[in-house]
């Protein structure tokens, strides 16, 4: 028994649903060369995605979800077709993305700490504990300064 995909492939709408990427993004990625041109239906000329296309789209979607730039995704996909000869450049691209994500996670952790301090501040304020509210306000100011500094990195 053959599947629908084996017989007809996937429409852009189906590919979008399966990858989590909007159809407009699929068209854009194809137009700028992030992904290879997708085959077209003989009569309709609509895009028809096969399993290999979906595999490539899924790893592009994963890279996009990490915040990787379009130009880096394009390099990564092109290098992926080169195999072992591109391994050092792939490692470099991914290591740099890993560094960016670690920095982003550190900034997010600071912002979470700031929100937690402000929640505690308002609990203290609501309870009439002015001394604790002032202490928490002071800590929040220090953390806000850290956030400003981290934003410049």
Residue 63 · residue 73 · CB < 8 Å: yes
pLDDT for the residue numbered 3: 44
pLDDT for the residue numbered 81: 87
Q: Rounded to an integer, what distance in angstroms lies between the CA atom of residue 84 and that of residue 69?
A: 23
Reported as a pLDDT band with limits 50, 70 and 90, residue 153 is: low
Please write the tens of the pLDDT for every residue from 142-151. Answer: 988 888 887 7
DSSP letters of 69-101? -HHHHHHHHHHHTTGGGGHHHHHHHHHHHHHHH
pLDDT for the residue numbered 117: 94
Please write the tens of the pLDDT for every residue from 71-129. Answer: 999 999 999 889 999 999 999 999 999 999 999 999 999 999 999 999 999 999 999 99
Ranges of beta strands (E only) in 2-141 are none
Enter the tokens of residue 92. Answer: 């470099």
Q: Which is nearest to 79 in space by CA: 92, 68, 61?
A: 92
pLDDT for the residue numbered 41: 87
Please write the tens of the pLDDT for every residue from 34-58. Answer: 998 999 988 888 999 999 999 999 9
Contacts of residue 134, defined as CB under 8 A and 6 or more positions apart, other chains included, come to none
């Amino acid at each position: 028994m053959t599947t629908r995909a084996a017989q007809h492939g996937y429409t852009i709408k189906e590919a979008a649903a399966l990858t989590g990427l909007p159809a407009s993004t699929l068209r854009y990625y194809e137009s700028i060369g992030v992904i290879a041109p997708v085959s077209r239906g003989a009569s309709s000329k609509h895009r028809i995605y096969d399993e290999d296309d979906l595999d490539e789209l899924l790893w592009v979607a994963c890279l996009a979800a990490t915040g990787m730039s379009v130009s880096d995704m394009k390099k990564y996909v092109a290098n992926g077709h080169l195999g072992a000869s591109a391994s050092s450049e792939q490692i470099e691209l991914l290591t740099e993305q890993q560094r960016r994500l670690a920095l982003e996670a550190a900034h997010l952790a600071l912002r979470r700490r700031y929100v937690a301090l402000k929640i505690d501040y308002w609990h203290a304020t609501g309870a009439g504990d002015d001394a604790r509210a002032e202490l928490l306000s002071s800590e929040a100011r220090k953390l806000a300064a850290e956030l400003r500094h981290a934003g410049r990195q």
